Amino acid sequence: MVNKVLFCATVDYHFKAFHLPILKWFKEKGWEVHIAACGEMELPYVDQKYNIPIQRSPFKAKNITAFQELKKVINKNDYKIIHCHTPMGGVLTRLAAKQARKNGTKVFYTAHGFHFCKGSPVMNWLLYYPIEKGLARYTDCLITINDEDYDLAKSHRFRAGEIEHVHGVGVDTSRFKPIDKEDRRERRERFGYKDDDFLMFYAAEFNQNKNQQFLIKALAKIKDTIPNARLLLAGEGILQDSCKKLASDLGVKHMVEFLGYRNDIVNLLPMCDVAVASSLREGLPVNIMEAMACGLPVVATVNRGHNELIVNQFNGWTIGPENTNEMAEKIILLATEEHLITSLGKNGRDRVERTYSVNTIVIEKSRLYERFIEEMEGIRWVAQ
């Protein structure tokens, strides 16, 4: 009988964005791969896909239907492994898989950044902490993607079978990579920028957590010192209009580019000088890893995800979430000391290749799967 694995998340795009390499890994090992998530997207390496109406909000009534449908899917298939992602995907799947675990199914859950962490609102601790701690007992392997979450799960005695740390979802360093000066000049010309423009890039949804207002305020402090600075903001969201108004009010409207939703970030990033980030909370942000892979130094606000990726004065700096003066100072330093961009950028690229590349992450995850498979079947697989 062919072994089956089920991957679950709130939306199917999650797998296209982050997990295709591990789906491919299972297929190459001869497994039947199933997906359960909301959406009708066609995904490679998938044998069976279930459109389950999982909702992001825990208060949506549709989640009751989603739980019932998910339970039927799990109970009718003899899954050897179930791996769930995203908060609600993790909640519903682990509850729906309780009987399957009694029959030998191993349940994995990746926490892509706990909603409760240092500095998060008290309400997050009141709501999400007891849920995650309680559901840990229905988890054979709890995977965290940063040191802070790993230490928290350990110190607060989450009762998962095992608690592991994997370095995120990985970055394809063959796609996200530095470019030479001629390619950089040509791309800038194609996108409407000058060769001597100082380009800063940030891709994120416009919401309270991503905090783009911070970057616009910092830009206002350097507008006279670096008049050729341009802040490129990719993304959409409910706070986009208020950010446009703020840029206008602070006299930097001409220096901010609101790019909207983009699917060509792989082409935009390498032509920029610096990556900036202003979010208040992150698990392990892919946008920062992609920027590092492209050889960009990073200046970002302090949070657990940024702290994990950025080593001060090695590949960039982390600064206080309200310290626009220091953000402005670091940007000016990079704009006036070109050699720093080169050296910090190279260090960041090396760091990503060594620790956060897709190939490295597949090896880390596959070793976890292999250990559980060996326990279940007594078969030793060699990591590819």
Q: How confident is the model at residue 121 (pLDDT cuts 50, 70, 90)?
A: confident
* pLDDT greater than 90 at residue 150: yes
* pLDDT greater than 70 at residue 378: no
Share of the chain above pLDDT 90, in %: 89
Strand arrangement, sheet containing 141-144: 48-51, 32-38, 4-11, 79-85, 106-111, 141-144, 162-165
Measured CA to CA in angstroms, residue 45 lies from 22, 30, 73, 204, 289 at distances of: 9, 11, 19, 28, 25
Share of the chain above pLDDT 70, in %: 98
Q: Is 33 helix (H, G, I), strand (E, B) or coil?
A: strand
Q: Which residue has the higher pLDDT, 1 or 67?
A: 67
* pLDDT greater than 90 at residue 113: no
In this predicted structure, what is the pLDDT of residue 117?
Answer: 73
- Write down the mean pLDDT value for the chain: 94
Domains, the chain, with CATH or none: 4-170+357-377 (3.40.50.2000), 181-356 (3.40.50.2000)
Average pLDDT over residues 331-346: 96
In this predicted structure, what is the pLDDT of residue 380?
Answer: 44
In this predicted structure, what is the pLDDT of residue 123?
Answer: 82
Average pLDDT over residues 288-308: 97
In this predicted structure, what is the pLDDT of residue 221?
Answer: 97
* pLDDT greater than 90 at residue 326: yes
